Amino acid sequence: MQQSPIFSKTYDLLAWLIPATTKFPREQRFVLARHVQETALRFQEELIEAAAGPKNARELALAGADVSLTKLRFYLRLCQDLHLLTPRQYRHVAEMVAEIGRLLGGWRQKTGTA
């Protein structure tokens, strides 16, 4: 499970994202930063559920992960539009999320859940 690239890429995303969001202004740390962090962590949990859970639950977990990743993309774009992330930070995190999205899409295709 942890050998799969999606797990290491998601870990790298979380390791970058959590410290970056804790630097948001105080009023946004309790609103937008919290949602970004919770959504990213939920995405990781859904990947673990898909990998470790029963085969019949895999489709549901991967579909949930796809929704979580879409939400994360939205929140990150909002962070950039509100100038909470610099253009360089946004470009970096968007590239990370895009790569994870490709890996998730490949996993869903492989399991026939896409």
The domain spans of the chain are 5-111
The pLDDT score that the predictor gives to residue 29 is 85
Indicate the pLDDT class of residue 114, thresholds 50, 70 and 90. Answer: low
pLDDT tens-place string over residues 1-39: 447 899 999 999 999 999 999 999 998 888 999 999 999
Of all helices (H) and strands (E), which one includes residue 105?
helix 87-111
Name the residue among 16, 21, 15, 5 with its Cα closest to residue 100: 5
The pLDDT score that the predictor gives to residue 36 is 97
Whether 79 and 86 have beta carbons less than 8 Å apart is answered as no
The pLDDT score that the predictor gives to residue 64 is 96
Q: Where are the beta strands (DSSP E) in the chain?
A: none
pLDDT tens-place string over residues 51-94: 998 888 899 999 999 999 999 999 999 999 999 999 999 999 99
Q: Classify domain 5-111 at the CATH superfamily level.
A: 23S rRNA-intervening sequence (1.20.1440.60)
Note the residue count of the chain. Answer: 114
Radius of gyration of the chain, Cα coordinates, nearest whole angstrom: 14
Quickly tell me which residue has 């859940």 as its tokens: 113
List CB contacts of 48: < 8 A, sequence separation 6 or more.
1
Name the residue among 83, 76, 64 with its Cα closest to residue 16: 76
The pLDDT score that the predictor gives to residue 8 is 96
